Amino acid sequence: MKLYSLSVLYKGATKANLLKAAYDLSSFSFFQRSSVQEFMTFTSALIVERTSQGTRASVKEQEYLCHVYVRNDNLGAVVIADTEYPQRVCFTLLDKVLEEFSRQVDSIDWPSGNPETINYKSLDIHLSKYQNPREADAMTKVQAELDETKIILHNTMESLLERGEKLDDLVAKSEHLGNQSKAFYKTVSFDDSSYYYGLESC
């Protein structure tokens, strides 16, 4: 069981604004990590942009699940995990992070903030602590409420896209991806089950 990234974003009128992010890319080779991180940032932003206010959803992509919660105040969070990691614990984590973030960071800074200007230092701690879901779940005890919450499951990233949209086009236009990551994405099929984000996990 593994968590790969945890990020907080603001859902703007046309795009999501990344406010803070933490990553655990130790299972990827050193040379792949920058591109993997860029694709996780891109994917997290895309999912928040396509998720309605007040919605929890999980998006399946190969052997990975991207869990998202966008609150009614447009503050959202995404955690990317493997499929073995318990979904309920992921949403407990997202609730905890968003509640804590909204207490520590003034909402006036959400639309224009970025990872360098936002002063919130707990994401790395949460990502590390929640790598063991049993230990983390024992600490939180927020189970019954989330069990009853409706969570939307999307079977693929493509199911989030509007009619006529293509993931390839969004990758090409993305501000989150460097040219090297875009080039690498083109060389690998999303349908190849041994790859994610166009990169092979070690």
Q: Which two tokens stand for residue 37?
A: 């991180």
In a domain, 37, yes or no: yes
Amino acid making up residue 27: S
Burial of 161 from C-beta contacts in 10 A (0-12 / 13-18 / 19+): middle
In a domain, 171, yes or no: no
In a domain, 152, yes or no: yes
In a domain, 71, yes or no: yes
Considering the entire predicted model, what is its pTM?
Answer: 0.74
- Residue 19: count of CB within 10 angstroms of its CB: 25
In a domain, 172, yes or no: no
- Per-residue pLDDT of 76-100, as tens digits, reads 999 999 988 988 889 989 999 999 9
Q: Above 90 in pLDDT, residue 115?
A: yes
- Per-residue pLDDT of 122-153, as tens digits, reads 999 999 999 988 776 665 555 544 544 555 55
What is the model's pLDDT at position 60?
85
- CA nearest to 5, candidates 43, 31, 61, 52: 43
In a domain, 56, yes or no: yes
* Angle in degrees, 0-180, between the axes of helices 133-140 and 87-104, rounded to the nearest 10: 60
Enclosing domain of residue 63: 3-161
Dist CA 136 CA 68 (whole Å): 18
Q: Above 80 in pLDDT, residue 190?
A: no
CATH assignment of the domain containing 148: 3.30.450.50
In a domain, 186, yes or no: no
In a domain, 184, yes or no: no
Q: How many domains does the chain fold into? A: 1
What is the model's pLDDT at position 183?
60
Whole-number mean pLDDT of the chain?
Answer: 79
